[in-house]
Structure 1
Amino acid sequence: MAMRTSVLLAGAAILLAPLTGALAQESYSSKDVVDFFVKEKELGAARAVCIGTAEECAKAQPAKPATFDLRVTFDLDSDQLTSDAKTQLKAFADALRDDRLAKLKFMVEGFTDATGTETYNMDLSVRRANAVVSFLKAEGVESDRLKPMGFGEARPRAEDPFDPSNRRVETRLAE
Protein backbone atom coordinates (compact mmCIF):
# COMPACT_ATOMS: atom_id res chain seq x y z
CA MET A 1 0.00 0.00 0.00
CA ALA A 2 1.46 3.37 -1.04
CA MET A 3 1.95 6.00 1.62
CA ARG A 4 1.13 9.65 1.04
CA THR A 5 3.12 12.50 2.45
CA SER A 6 1.76 15.86 3.56
CA VAL A 7 4.12 18.78 3.22
CA LEU A 8 3.44 21.98 5.14
CA LEU A 9 4.40 25.17 3.30
CA ALA A 10 3.84 28.37 5.28
CA GLY A 11 0.61 27.10 6.72
CA ALA A 12 -0.77 25.44 3.59
CA ALA A 13 -0.73 21.66 3.38
CA ILE A 14 -0.08 20.23 -0.06
CA LEU A 15 -0.49 16.51 -0.67
CA LEU A 16 2.26 14.87 -2.67
CA ALA A 17 1.60 11.65 -4.52
CA PRO A 18 3.70 8.59 -3.77
CA LEU A 19 6.53 8.12 -6.24
CA THR A 20 6.20 5.09 -8.48
CA GLY A 21 8.46 4.66 -11.47
CA ALA A 22 8.30 8.02 -13.15
CA LEU A 23 6.91 10.71 -10.92
CA ALA A 24 3.28 9.81 -10.29
CA GLN A 25 1.18 12.87 -9.59
CA GLU A 26 -2.20 13.54 -8.09
CA SER A 27 -4.42 16.08 -9.72
CA TYR A 28 -5.60 19.29 -8.20
CA SER A 29 -8.61 21.26 -9.25
CA SER A 30 -8.84 24.91 -10.19
CA LYS A 31 -10.76 25.35 -6.90
CA ASP A 32 -7.74 24.01 -4.97
CA VAL A 33 -5.54 26.62 -6.67
CA VAL A 34 -7.98 29.47 -6.07
CA ASP A 35 -8.43 28.53 -2.41
CA PHE A 36 -4.65 28.37 -1.91
CA PHE A 37 -3.95 31.80 -3.40
CA VAL A 38 -6.99 33.53 -1.89
CA LYS A 39 -5.79 32.38 1.52
CA GLU A 40 -2.21 33.40 0.68
CA LYS A 41 -3.33 36.82 -0.54
CA GLU A 42 -5.26 37.44 2.68
CA LEU A 43 -2.22 36.49 4.78
CA GLY A 44 0.01 39.02 3.05
CA ALA A 45 -2.52 41.85 2.60
CA ALA A 46 -1.71 43.84 5.74
CA ARG A 47 1.17 46.29 5.49
CA ALA A 48 2.29 48.51 8.33
CA VAL A 49 5.21 50.33 9.85
CA CYS A 50 6.50 48.66 12.99
CA ILE A 51 7.35 50.89 15.91
CA GLY A 52 9.25 49.01 18.57
CA THR A 53 12.51 47.21 19.15
CA ALA A 54 14.23 45.32 16.34
CA GLU A 55 13.24 42.06 18.04
CA GLU A 56 9.57 43.07 18.29
CA CYS A 57 9.47 44.21 14.67
CA ALA A 58 11.18 41.04 13.45
CA LYS A 59 8.36 39.01 15.00
CA ALA A 60 5.77 41.20 13.27
CA GLN A 61 7.16 40.66 9.76
CA PRO A 62 4.73 38.92 7.38
CA ALA A 63 5.61 35.40 6.30
CA LYS A 64 7.28 34.93 2.93
CA PRO A 65 4.69 33.91 0.33
CA ALA A 66 4.27 30.16 0.04
CA THR A 67 4.78 28.47 -3.29
CA PHE A 68 2.14 26.36 -4.95
CA ASP A 69 3.44 23.06 -6.25
CA LEU A 70 2.13 22.99 -9.81
CA ARG A 71 3.12 19.33 -9.88
CA VAL A 72 4.77 19.99 -13.21
CA THR A 73 7.86 17.82 -13.41
CA PHE A 74 10.20 17.16 -16.30
CA ASP A 75 12.20 14.32 -17.76
CA LEU A 76 15.96 14.48 -17.42
CA ASP A 77 17.49 17.24 -19.56
CA SER A 78 14.08 18.30 -20.91
CA ASP A 79 11.93 21.41 -20.96
CA GLN A 80 9.05 19.64 -22.74
CA LEU A 81 5.72 19.48 -20.91
CA THR A 82 4.36 15.98 -20.38
CA SER A 83 0.68 15.18 -20.90
CA ASP A 84 0.26 15.04 -17.09
CA ALA A 85 1.86 18.47 -16.80
CA LYS A 86 -0.51 19.89 -19.41
CA THR A 87 -3.50 18.51 -17.52
CA GLN A 88 -2.30 20.15 -14.31
CA LEU A 89 -1.58 23.43 -16.07
CA LYS A 90 -5.06 23.54 -17.60
CA ALA A 91 -6.54 23.43 -14.09
CA PHE A 92 -4.08 26.14 -13.03
CA ALA A 93 -5.04 28.33 -16.02
CA ASP A 94 -8.74 27.88 -15.15
CA ALA A 95 -7.96 29.07 -11.63
CA LEU A 96 -6.10 32.15 -12.87
CA ARG A 97 -9.19 33.16 -14.83
CA ASP A 98 -11.29 33.07 -11.63
CA ASP A 99 -12.46 36.58 -10.65
CA ARG A 100 -10.76 36.31 -7.24
CA LEU A 101 -7.35 35.78 -8.87
CA ALA A 102 -7.86 37.75 -12.08
CA LYS A 103 -5.81 40.77 -10.98
CA LEU A 104 -2.95 38.89 -9.30
CA LYS A 105 0.51 38.37 -10.76
CA PHE A 106 2.55 35.22 -10.36
CA MET A 107 6.18 34.16 -10.33
CA VAL A 108 6.73 30.95 -12.32
CA GLU A 109 9.87 29.36 -10.91
CA GLY A 110 11.82 26.64 -12.75
CA PHE A 111 14.24 24.20 -11.09
CA THR A 112 16.54 21.34 -12.06
CA ASP A 113 18.24 18.49 -10.30
CA ALA A 114 22.03 18.59 -9.86
CA THR A 115 22.82 16.74 -13.11
CA GLY A 116 24.81 19.03 -15.41
CA THR A 117 26.82 22.16 -14.85
CA GLU A 118 25.51 25.08 -12.83
CA THR A 119 25.35 27.26 -15.96
CA TYR A 120 23.52 24.61 -17.97
CA ASN A 121 21.06 23.96 -15.15
CA MET A 122 20.30 27.66 -14.81
CA ASP A 123 19.48 27.86 -18.53
CA LEU A 124 17.38 24.68 -18.38
CA SER A 125 15.41 25.98 -15.38
CA VAL A 126 14.62 29.21 -17.28
CA ARG A 127 13.49 27.18 -20.30
CA ARG A 128 11.21 25.11 -18.04
CA ALA A 129 9.65 28.22 -16.52
CA ASN A 130 9.19 29.69 -20.02
CA ALA A 131 7.54 26.46 -21.24
CA VAL A 132 4.97 26.74 -18.45
CA VAL A 133 4.37 30.44 -19.14
CA SER A 134 3.94 29.76 -22.87
CA PHE A 135 1.40 27.04 -22.14
CA LEU A 136 -0.54 29.25 -19.72
CA LYS A 137 -0.58 32.10 -22.26
CA ALA A 138 -1.95 29.69 -24.88
CA GLU A 139 -4.68 28.82 -22.33
CA GLY A 140 -5.72 32.50 -22.13
CA VAL A 141 -3.72 33.79 -19.16
CA GLU A 142 -2.40 37.30 -19.80
CA SER A 143 1.39 37.34 -20.18
CA ASP A 144 1.81 40.43 -17.98
CA ARG A 145 0.55 38.35 -15.02
CA LEU A 146 3.34 35.77 -15.31
CA LYS A 147 7.03 36.28 -14.59
CA PRO A 148 9.25 33.27 -15.40
CA MET A 149 12.39 32.82 -13.32
CA GLY A 150 15.03 30.08 -13.27
CA PHE A 151 16.80 28.89 -10.15
CA GLY A 152 18.80 25.97 -11.53
CA GLU A 153 19.55 23.40 -8.87
CA ALA A 154 18.98 25.82 -5.96
CA ARG A 155 16.25 25.01 -3.44
CA PRO A 156 15.96 21.27 -4.12
CA ARG A 157 12.73 19.62 -3.01
CA ALA A 158 14.40 16.32 -2.11
CA GLU A 159 17.44 15.81 0.08
CA ASP A 160 19.19 13.96 -2.76
CA PRO A 161 20.18 16.72 -5.24
CA PHE A 162 19.85 14.23 -8.14
CA ASP A 163 16.28 13.20 -7.23
CA PRO A 164 13.91 13.61 -10.21
CA SER A 165 11.40 15.49 -8.02
CA ASN A 166 13.82 18.44 -8.09
CA ARG A 167 13.08 18.89 -11.83
CA ARG A 168 9.97 21.00 -11.44
CA VAL A 169 8.15 24.31 -11.78
CA GLU A 170 6.41 26.03 -8.86
CA THR A 171 4.55 29.30 -8.64
CA ARG A 172 3.84 31.94 -6.04
CA LEU A 173 2.28 35.35 -5.84
CA ALA A 174 4.57 38.05 -7.20
CA GLU A 175 5.56 40.57 -4.56
Structure 2
Amino acid sequence: MRSILLSSAFLAAIATGAAAQDTPYSPGDVVNFLVDSADLGLNRGICIGTAQECAPPEPQGMDMLINFELDSADLTAEARENLAVFAEALKDERLNKARFVVEGHTDARGVEGYNFGLSEERAASVKTYLSELGVSEARLTAVGLGESEPRTGDALDPENRRVELRIDLQ
Protein backbone atom coordinates (compact mmCIF):
# COMPACT_ATOMS: atom_id res chain seq x y z
CA MET A 1 0.00 0.00 0.00
CA ARG A 2 1.32 3.43 -0.97
CA SER A 3 0.37 6.23 1.32
CA ILE A 4 1.01 9.87 1.98
CA LEU A 5 1.46 10.99 5.51
CA LEU A 6 -0.40 13.74 7.29
CA SER A 7 1.51 13.39 10.51
CA SER A 8 1.14 14.83 13.91
CA ALA A 9 2.55 18.31 14.35
CA PHE A 10 0.39 20.73 12.36
CA LEU A 11 2.53 23.87 12.66
CA ALA A 12 5.69 22.57 11.01
CA ALA A 13 6.47 22.72 7.32
CA ILE A 14 4.02 21.82 4.56
CA ALA A 15 5.27 20.20 1.35
CA THR A 16 7.00 23.42 0.25
CA GLY A 17 9.38 23.18 3.19
CA ALA A 18 8.22 26.55 4.48
CA ALA A 19 9.11 27.53 8.01
CA ALA A 20 6.67 26.95 10.84
CA GLN A 21 3.75 29.32 10.80
CA ASP A 22 2.03 31.10 13.66
CA THR A 23 -1.42 30.48 12.20
CA PRO A 24 -2.91 27.09 11.44
CA TYR A 25 -3.45 25.87 7.92
CA SER A 26 -6.78 26.41 6.23
CA PRO A 27 -8.90 23.63 4.74
CA GLY A 28 -7.72 24.88 1.33
CA ASP A 29 -4.09 24.35 2.35
CA VAL A 30 -4.88 20.76 3.30
CA VAL A 31 -6.77 20.12 0.03
CA ASN A 32 -3.98 21.60 -2.06
CA PHE A 33 -1.36 19.57 -0.23
CA LEU A 34 -3.26 16.32 -0.76
CA VAL A 35 -4.07 17.01 -4.40
CA ASP A 36 -0.49 18.08 -5.16
CA SER A 37 1.10 15.18 -3.25
CA ALA A 38 -1.12 12.29 -4.22
CA ASP A 39 -1.96 10.79 -7.57
CA LEU A 40 -5.71 10.90 -7.13
CA GLY A 41 -6.28 10.12 -10.79
CA LEU A 42 -6.63 13.83 -11.53
CA ASN A 43 -3.50 14.22 -13.67
CA ARG A 44 -2.43 12.02 -16.52
CA GLY A 45 0.49 12.54 -18.84
CA ILE A 46 3.36 10.97 -20.70
CA CYS A 47 6.95 11.51 -19.64
CA ILE A 48 9.73 11.07 -22.14
CA GLY A 49 13.00 10.58 -20.34
CA THR A 50 14.83 8.25 -18.04
CA ALA A 51 13.04 6.35 -15.28
CA GLN A 52 14.66 8.72 -12.78
CA GLU A 53 13.50 11.82 -14.66
CA CYS A 54 9.94 10.50 -14.95
CA ALA A 55 9.61 9.17 -11.42
CA PRO A 56 7.02 11.03 -9.37
CA PRO A 57 8.48 13.10 -6.55
CA GLU A 58 8.50 11.51 -3.11
CA PRO A 59 5.61 12.99 -1.16
CA GLN A 60 6.45 15.02 1.91
CA GLY A 61 4.51 14.91 5.15
CA MET A 62 2.12 17.63 6.24
CA ASP A 63 2.28 18.02 9.98
CA MET A 64 -0.95 18.35 11.96
CA LEU A 65 -0.87 18.45 15.74
CA ILE A 66 -2.84 15.43 16.92
CA ASN A 67 -0.96 14.60 20.09
CA PHE A 68 -2.17 13.16 23.38
CA GLU A 69 -1.42 13.50 27.05
CA LEU A 70 0.32 10.64 28.85
CA ASP A 71 -1.93 7.58 29.23
CA SER A 72 -4.86 9.26 27.44
CA ALA A 73 -6.92 8.82 24.30
CA ASP A 74 -8.81 12.08 24.88
CA LEU A 75 -8.42 14.68 22.15
CA THR A 76 -6.91 17.99 23.22
CA ALA A 77 -8.54 21.27 22.21
CA GLU A 78 -5.72 21.85 19.71
CA ALA A 79 -6.20 18.39 18.20
CA ARG A 80 -9.95 19.05 17.83
CA GLU A 81 -9.29 22.35 16.07
CA ASN A 82 -6.85 20.74 13.63
CA LEU A 83 -9.16 17.81 12.96
CA ALA A 84 -11.98 20.26 12.24
CA VAL A 85 -9.81 21.86 9.53
CA PHE A 86 -9.04 18.40 8.13
CA ALA A 87 -12.74 17.40 8.13
CA GLU A 88 -13.66 20.64 6.34
CA ALA A 89 -10.97 19.94 3.71
CA LEU A 90 -12.47 16.52 3.01
CA LYS A 91 -15.65 18.21 1.76
CA ASP A 92 -13.74 19.32 -1.36
CA GLU A 93 -15.00 17.36 -4.37
CA ARG A 94 -11.43 16.57 -5.48
CA LEU A 95 -11.07 14.42 -2.36
CA ASN A 96 -14.43 12.62 -2.60
CA LYS A 97 -12.82 9.24 -3.23
CA ALA A 98 -9.90 9.65 -0.83
CA ARG A 99 -9.69 7.13 2.00
CA PHE A 100 -7.53 7.52 5.09
CA VAL A 101 -5.78 5.24 7.54
CA VAL A 102 -5.84 6.67 11.08
CA GLU A 103 -2.74 5.32 12.84
CA GLY A 104 -2.53 5.52 16.63
CA HIS A 105 0.88 5.60 18.34
CA THR A 106 2.28 5.72 21.87
CA ASP A 107 5.59 6.44 23.50
CA ALA A 108 7.47 3.54 25.14
CA ARG A 109 6.20 4.13 28.67
CA GLY A 110 4.18 1.18 29.93
CA VAL A 111 4.10 -2.39 28.71
CA GLU A 112 3.84 -3.20 25.03
CA GLY A 113 0.37 -4.80 25.18
CA TYR A 114 -1.10 -1.86 27.08
CA ASN A 115 0.47 0.61 24.66
CA PHE A 116 -0.97 -1.26 21.70
CA GLY A 117 -4.48 -1.01 23.18
CA LEU A 118 -3.98 2.68 23.97
CA SER A 119 -2.84 3.35 20.40
CA GLU A 120 -6.01 1.67 19.11
CA GLU A 121 -8.11 3.87 21.43
CA ARG A 122 -6.34 6.99 20.13
CA ALA A 123 -6.98 6.05 16.50
CA ALA A 124 -10.63 5.26 17.33
CA SER A 125 -10.97 8.59 19.14
CA VAL A 126 -9.83 10.49 16.04
CA LYS A 127 -12.05 8.41 13.74
CA THR A 128 -15.07 9.00 15.97
CA TYR A 129 -14.45 12.74 16.16
CA LEU A 130 -14.01 13.03 12.38
CA SER A 131 -17.26 11.12 11.85
CA GLU A 132 -19.00 13.51 14.27
CA LEU A 133 -17.76 16.30 12.00
CA GLY A 134 -19.41 14.69 8.98
CA VAL A 135 -16.63 12.53 7.54
CA SER A 136 -18.02 9.17 6.45
CA GLU A 137 -16.68 6.31 8.57
CA ALA A 138 -16.29 4.34 5.34
CA ARG A 139 -13.46 6.72 4.41
CA LEU A 140 -11.53 6.03 7.62
CA THR A 141 -9.73 2.93 8.88
CA ALA A 142 -8.39 3.11 12.44
CA VAL A 143 -5.35 1.02 13.43
CA GLY A 144 -3.14 0.94 16.50
CA LEU A 145 0.62 0.58 16.17
CA GLY A 146 1.60 0.93 19.82
CA GLU A 147 5.17 2.03 20.41
CA SER A 148 6.51 0.27 17.29
CA GLU A 149 7.10 3.41 15.18
CA PRO A 150 8.44 6.26 17.30
CA ARG A 151 8.55 9.66 15.64
CA THR A 152 11.76 10.68 17.38
CA GLY A 153 14.95 8.89 18.43
CA ASP A 154 13.88 9.08 22.08
CA ALA A 155 11.26 6.35 22.57
CA LEU A 156 9.95 8.20 25.67
CA ASP A 157 9.50 11.55 23.90
CA PRO A 158 5.92 12.89 24.30
CA GLU A 159 5.92 13.64 20.55
CA ASN A 160 5.53 9.88 20.03
CA ARG A 161 2.04 10.01 21.63
CA ARG A 162 0.14 10.84 18.48
CA VAL A 163 -2.18 9.87 15.65
CA GLU A 164 -1.07 10.05 12.05
CA LEU A 165 -3.44 10.21 9.10
CA ARG A 166 -2.34 8.60 5.84
CA ILE A 167 -4.17 8.91 2.57
CA ASP A 168 -4.68 5.39 1.23
CA LEU A 169 -3.65 5.22 -2.42
CA GLN A 170 -4.52 1.57 -3.09
Normalising by the residue count of structure 2, what TM-score does the alignment of the two structures yield?
0.76
Separation in 2 of the partners of 1:40 and 1:16? Answer: 19
Q: Alignment partner for residue 169 of structure 1, among 145, 163, 170?
A: 163
Q: Alignment partner for residue 97 of structure 1, among 83, 91, 96?
A: 91
1:85 Cα deviation after fit: 0.9
Structure 1: segments with no counterpart, 5+ residues: 18-24, 48-55
Q: Which residue of 2 aligns with 1:52?
A: none
Q: Which residue of 2 aligns with 1:28?
A: 25
Separation in 2 of the partners of 1:78 and 1:35? Answer: 32
Task: Letter of the 1:172 partner, please give it.
Answer: R
1:154 Cα deviation after fit: 2.0
What's the secondary structure of 1:152's corresponding residue? Answer: coil
Separation in 1 of the partners of 2:83 and 2:128? Answer: 11
Alpha-carbon spacing, 1:132–1:39, altered in 2? closer, same or farther (3 Å): same
Task: Letter of the 2:167 partner, please give it.
Answer: L
- 8 Å Cα contact 2:13-2:63 kept in structure 1: no
- 8 Å Cα contact 1:65-1:172 kept in structure 2: no
Alpha-carbon spacing, 1:132–1:173, altered in 2? closer, same or farther (3 Å): same
Q: Alignment partner for residue 120 of structure 2, among 118, 123, 126?
A: 126
Alpha-carbon spacing, 1:92–1:58, altered in 2? closer, same or farther (3 Å): same
- 8 Å Cα contact 2:106-2:115 kept in structure 1: yes
Q: Which residue of 2 aligns with 1:41?
A: 38
* Highest RCO, 1 vs 2 (Cα 8 Å, sep ≥ 6): 2
Q: Percent identity of the aligned residues?
A: 42
Q: Which has the higher strand share?
A: 1
1:135 aligns with 2:124: no
Alignment length, in residue pairs?
154
Alpha-carbon spacing, 1:67–1:110, altered in 2? closer, same or farther (3 Å): farther
What's the secondary structure of 1:91's corresponding residue? Answer: helix
CA deviation map 1:33-74 (0-9, x unaligned): 111110122388889xxxxxxxx9899876776554331100
Q: Alignment partner for residue 154 of structure 2, among 149, 156, 160?
A: 160
Instruction: Calculate the aligned-residue CA RMSD, in Å.
Output: 3.0
Q: Which consecutive aligned stretches of 4+ in structure 1 deviate over 4 angstroms post-superposition? A: 5-8, 14-17, 43-47, 56-67
CA deviation map 1:106-149 (0-9, x unaligned): 11111111111111111111110110000000000011001111
- 8 Å Cα contact 1:69-1:171 kept in structure 2: no
Alpha-carbon spacing, 1:89–1:6, altered in 2? closer, same or farther (3 Å): closer
Separation in 1 of the partners of 2:27 and 2:72? Answer: 26
Task: Letter of the 1:36 partner, please give it.
Answer: F
